Structure 1
């Protein structure tokens, strides 16, 4: 099977992750799933972008942009043999293999050779374009459902602001408390890399919370013995709140909405709210608010890879309305969350369909009967 390096040119960006500009004119691709903005561009190409560390992910962009120094910029040089959209979809699948090959401690990274030496199936160019068109159609349906969920989430934030005001300015004069004062425990997951198993107890890292929800698909597993050892210090339970603290997607909360036991990696903080003082759903929505994210942004440590320390999380300041009003918010939010759950189920179904199509495509099994209706 041909090697990818014979058909593409691969460069990296030159900038630190903090080189972004809020009002920049060009996309700035880092290891985050969402590009930032920047004032100057260094590339003007049709490229596939692969995050080289942290949350490994793949993007496609055609135009002027800039890139973080650990972002790989891949451009096709043999257009008669490789279609760019086909490459994008293949790379989006191959990133699973890259995660297995990644090296390093807390923050995993990949090397150039893991890309250049990748074996890529190359059917005739017209067949590549046909495959890409089918996958584009399935991907568009998937993204449409993602946007619907985003609108539901926006509605929930709107209800929050209507009831409590902007936490940044606290216009309703609520009592202000440090997060650590209204929680029973704030800790994080195990700091060393565990020994993974094919089955066992789910092991959750930041990549399982990037959507703002706890997702068990594509998670790793550890043995029951290791889980029991880790669980003594960090014991996520039903209605606790998880908070991403390492990597480009730091500052995202998620409710533990399952009673299934699991363990956490160091990239995720465990927040156990004192339910006599603060409703977990109110806490989750408060942590998702830009005012709290701003505090996280100011507190971030580390060069290149963001790292939010536990002491900083404990010192977050947040308005604390009376519990009665918090509970009223949760009651109003329940109907919205029910709609969100239905949309998430539909999204998971479309993810399964897309994964099946992708797998068939790169096995040479994508017949016309399997195309998206």
Structure 2
């Protein structure tokens, strides 16, 4: 249903975003202006899964510049922040967050944008934050930026976008319903996270710290028990709109976290068959990890569904041993990367895991029966996770249905 039709049927107003919000993109602060202390600079990387995490970057500008030249870019508590550059359309909803008092002082920076309601009696900023997550917003935006899979936009695009405006009381009711649905989702995610924490606790109880190897297990290099490699190069120009999923590092990260993935790149079935014949493909139990994996992202392949992956940016560990359990290896490698990624990786621009580094990486190898015990415990916990994840999927489906109905004027 088009915006105009919704507005006509529901008797709502139709306004330009620029009519009801103040919005501002951050300035282009140059690298030479960065300091080690002062006022933090907000970056795209600080907006993660609907929250602000300033610990992920260490960019500052001096207080002199922040409260002088850039004073009008200093953010306020309650500002709605979005990323506006280099963001995949399917993940855009994760790049929207509100600033809290604890985040201040904070200076806007390039590729980020903030919004305020010009009149809280006309626009509830929380309602606006939900509107940004709808297809009504995304479709208008994609049309303005020529349908790119990457969102790169600025104030000139925002000023052209329409928003439907129900009466403020209805806006607040919509927010109340969606907030409640979101709370249920967040609580379910916390329960799933507790099970992940339990697995980590069991790992350390059984095997100790894999970096310190404080239990004195035998140590081996990856090259001793696996074939570490990547894939054959596939150029983006060879990708198609549908077919066999082609995963990049971003998709591997989500798979490692057990999240649902919506691939944006594909290769043809004939291309896939040729690559499979030439290089082989990962099988269940093999490990895939993005080369930039500072948070320990390791996906243990758990599907026979066909896919291929990007060379260089995704590394492939193919087990060639009968003394390593793949679940143990997944968790062990993940913990090693979390604790010591920068000490392991190399690169002049940013730390990156190279094939030769991973081949020579040493990890402790406990007795196989102990590894198997760990794998059995993990399997039991993962069954509980599956039930919770099924419940989470139903909650998310309900949330999406509520969102769709709310912005069609069908809830109230």
TM bin (shorter chain): 0.7 to 0.9
What does residue range 226-241 of structure 1 map to in structure 2 within 5 Å?
226-231=271-276, 232-233=278-279, 235-241=281-287
Structure 1 residues 12 and 195: alpha-carbon distance in aligned structure 2, compared to 1, 3 A threshold? farther
**Are 1:44 and 2:72 counterparts?**
no
Counterpart of 2:201 (choices 158, 161, 173) is: 158
**What is the deviation of 1:352?**
1.6
Question: Which residue does the alignment assign to 2:127?
Answer: 86
**Are 1:286 and 2:332 counterparts?**
yes
The CA distance in 2 between the partners of 1:335 and 1:319, in whole Å, is 24
The CA distance in 2 between the partners of 1:350 and 1:206, in whole Å, is 28
**What is the deviation of 1:198?**
5.2
The CA distance in 2 between the partners of 1:347 and 1:100, in whole Å, is 32
Structure 1 residues 43 and 79: alpha-carbon distance in aligned structure 2, compared to 1, 3 A threshold? same
Question: Which residue does the alignment assign to 2:24?
Answer: 10
Aligned-residue Cα RMSD (Å) equals: 3.8
In terms of mean alpha carbon deviation, does 315-324 or 253-262 score higher?
315-324
TM-score (structure 2 length as normaliser): 0.73
Question: Which residue does the alignment assign to 1:53?
Answer: 86
In terms of mean alpha carbon deviation, does 25-34 or 61-70 score higher?
25-34
TM-score (structure 1 length as normaliser): 0.80
SS at match of 2:306: coil
Contact in 2 for aligned 1:45/1:75 (Cα 8 Å): no
The CA distance in 1 between the partners of 2:348 and 2:310, in whole Å, is 18
SS at match of 1:59: strand
**Are 1:146 and 2:189 counterparts?**
yes
The CA distance in 2 between the partners of 1:320 and 1:182, in whole Å, is 11
The CA distance in 1 between the partners of 2:143 and 2:194, in whole Å, is 34
**What is the deviation of 1:347?**
1.5
**What is the deviation of 1:261?**
0.9
Contact in 1 for aligned 2:254/2:260 (Cα 8 Å): no
Question: Which residue does the alignment assign to 1:272?
Answer: 318
The CA distance in 2 between the partners of 1:200 and 1:119, in whole Å, is 34
SS at match of 2:296: coil
Task: From the two aligned structures, give the one with the greater helix fraction.
Answer: 2
**Are 1:212 and 2:256 counterparts?**
yes
- For structure 2, which runs of at least 5 residues remain unmatched after alignment? 1-13, 61-65, 67-73
Larger C-alpha radius of gyration, 1 or 2? Answer: 2
Structure 1 residues 108 and 136: alpha-carbon distance in aligned structure 2, compared to 1, 3 A threshold? same
SS at match of 1:73: strand
What does residue range 1-373 of structure 1 map to in structure 2 within 5 Å?
2-6=15-19, 7-12=21-26, 14=29, 30-31=44-45, 33=48, 35-37=53-55, 42-51=74-83, 52-53=85-86, 56=92, 57-63=95-101, 64-65=103-104, 66=106, 69-80=109-120, 81-93=122-134, 110-112=152-154, 113-188=156-231, 190=233, 192-193=235-236, 197=240, 199-208=242-251, 209-210=253-254, 212-220=256-264, 221-231=266-276, 232-233=278-279, 235-246=281-292, 251-266=296-311, 267-289=313-335, 291-298=336-343, 299=345, 301=347, 303=349, 307-365=352-410, 367=411
- For structure 1, which runs of at least 5 residues remain unmatched after alignment? 369-373
**What is the deviation of 1:77?**
4.1
Question: Which residue does the alignment assign to 1:371?
Answer: none
